[in-house]
Amino acid sequence: MKKICFVGGGNMASAMLAGLRKAHPALVCHIIEPFAPARDKLAATGVTVYATAERAAIDGADAVVLAVKPQVLKDACAQLLPHLAGELIVSIAAGTRAGTISRWLGGHTRIVRTMPNTPALIGQGITGLYAPASLAERDVATATALMQSTGPVVRVESEAMIDAVTAVSGSGPAYVFQFIESMLAAAQGVGFDADNARTLVLATLKGATALAEASDESPAVLRERVTSKGGTTAAALAVIDARGVQAAYVDAVRAARDRGAELGALADGA
């Protein structure tokens, strides 16, 4: 990878840039960003900045990354279109289908659609990636390397599965934050102050996640190992099971996936 162009120099572009520069120190980065203060900040890091799309920003780029909010993506595509000469487009915009972007880019087909998540902002994201089967493997490899700047990449075989990625890992941090909120309230409910509750809950989450990652055993086996018959964990899990929490997650993820499909269809009509 020699040169990358970002359309939009916000949070995600900055996070990707930080990871990319670590992995490819000689990478040339050009960013189109209309907001002058954001442009100045980026320019101070050695990036070449542009207030509006122009050929020089894109020329020679291995990929052009669409990193604007979905609501301004159509406008950004309209500004980009006259300057495109067949470059690889990688979209990180949530909820906008590759076909919609293709239409906004005058029928351009060299498009990869990705779905990162918010921990990408600290280099600990996970990205779902969809590339049409017709796309050259070299382009898929470039898009994958780009997105690996903020964490691992999972390739999905159909674009509909991007809605499933959105439901699991895109929205997933919110489910985890809600779990943390619930555990903090529960810890305070049994007598801890806010500081100790935070320390206990976050360290438990971090440790259990690391154990699940490091272990060859399934989470179910790890759970059973902490749960002795008639013990404290069994008392807690009985309450959680009686409330149907696992089934709620299945329904929640399905609801998120279906909403993603609806929003994608709405954006397609825009």
Ligand X SMILES: NC(=O)c1ccc[n+]([C@@H]2O[C@H](COP(=O)([O-])OP(=O)(O)OC[C@H]3O[C@@H](n4cnc5c(N)ncnc54)[C@H](OP(=O)(O)O)[C@@H]3O)[C@@H](O)[C@H]2O)c1
State in angstroms the smallest separation of the CB of 134 from ligand X.
24
Q: Is 68 in the site for ligand X (CB under 6 A)?
A: yes
Query: x/- string (CB under 6 A) for ligand X, residues 149-168?
Result: --------------------
Beta bridge partners of 155: 129
Q: Is 33 in the site for ligand X (CB under 6 A)?
A: yes
User: Please, is 74 exposed, middle or buried when counting C-beta atoms within 10 Å of its C-beta (0-12, 13-18, 19+)?
Assistant: middle
Distance, in Å, from the CA atom of 74 to the CA atom of 59, rounded to the nearest integer, reads 21
CA angle 101/94/88 to nearest 5° reads 45
Q: Which position among 75, 217, 224, 268 is part of the footprint of ligand X (CB under 6 A)?
A: 75
Q: Is 126 in the site for ligand X (CB under 6 A)?
A: no
Question: Where do we find the tokens 């900055």?
Answer: 14
Q: Which position among 61, 94, 112, 126 is part of the footprint of ligand X (CB under 6 A)?
A: 94
Q: Is 32 in the site for ligand X (CB under 6 A)?
A: yes
State in angstroms the smallest separation of the CB of 268 from ligand X.
16
Return the range that interacts with ligand X (CB under 6 A); candidates 69-77, 210-218, 228-236, 237-245. Answer: 69-77
Q: Which position among 2, 11, 210, 248 is part of the footprint of ligand X (CB under 6 A)?
A: 11
Distance, in Å, from the CA atom of 240 to the CA atom of 229, rounded to the nearest integer, reads 16
- For the chain, what is the largest distance between any 2 Cα atoms, rounded to a whole number of angstroms? 69
Return the range that interacts with ligand X (CB under 6 A); candidates 118-126, 206-214, 217-225, 234-242. Answer: 118-126
CA 156 to each of CA 25, 84, 92, 257: distance values in angstroms, whole numbers, following the listed order: 29, 27, 15, 14
3-state DSSP assignment of residue 125: coil
Q: Which position among 24, 28, 41, 79 is part of the footprint of ligand X (CB under 6 A)?
A: 79
Under rule CB under 6 A, how many of the chain's residues touch ligand X? 29
User: Please, is 191 exposed, middle or buried when counting C-beta atoms within 10 Å of its C-beta (0-12, 13-18, 19+)?
Assistant: exposed
State in angstroms the smallest separation of the CB of 86 from ligand X.
20
Asked whether the beta carbons of 178 and 245 are under 8 A apart, the reply is no
Q: Is 123 in the site for ligand X (CB under 6 A)?
A: no
Residues 6+ apart with CB under 8 A from 265: none
3-state DSSP assignment of residue 176: helix
**Which residue, 70 or 223, has its beta carbon nearer to ligand X?**
70
Q: Is 57 in the site for ligand X (CB under 6 A)?
A: no
State in angstroms the smallest separation of the CB of 98 from ligand X.
14
Which residues contribute to the site for ligand X (CB under 6 A)? 7-13, 32-35, 38, 67-70, 72, 75-76, 79, 92-94, 116-118, 120-121, 170
